Amino acid sequence: MTKLTHISIDDANLPTPTPEIEQERKVAIFDLLEENTFALPHEDASLGPYRLLLAIRERRLVFDVQTEQEEKAAEFHLSLSPFRQVVKDYFQICESYFDAVKKLPPSQIEAIDMARRGIHNEGARVLLERLEGKVDTDMDTSRRLFTLICVLHFGA
């Protein structure tokens, strides 16, 4: 009952994502639906599992949480400011990684990939802090949600 079974992204007002961004989005959603931990701490656990809509509205990250019956369970808005630098760093390291894959030896690619994972973990930690008291989740779920936040940031 403490999980997400449906995830959607409101990208109606955002530019069309690149094929790479669209692929990251699909993989993150697939992985999230396969395994996640997501509970509203102040709600009856029997309300779950949940449906999640992620959006950016008025320069804020919106988590619109519904029950399986599409009834409102919670909605909260987070400032994007704490995410800006880590998202920027993440996009830069991803760009370096994609360039490296084309021309560098495996040892250098591995070093860049380790840095990429470190920045991704930092973004997940920021998200965990911002969700404290709103959603009970774990690091793996937070990492995948951070990927989706990056997808939204790409268009915002």
Percentage of the chain lying above the pLDDT 90 cut? 69
Helices (H), the chain: 19-34, 81-103, 106-131, 139-155
pLDDT at 156 over 60: no
Once rounded to an integer, what is the mean pLDDT over residues 29-58?
A: 89
pLDDT at 128 over 90: yes
Contact 3, 48 (CB under 8 A): yes
Split at pLDDT 50, 70, 90, the class of 45 is low
pLDDT for the residue 151: 84
DSSP letter, residue 46: G
pLDDT for the residue 67: 93
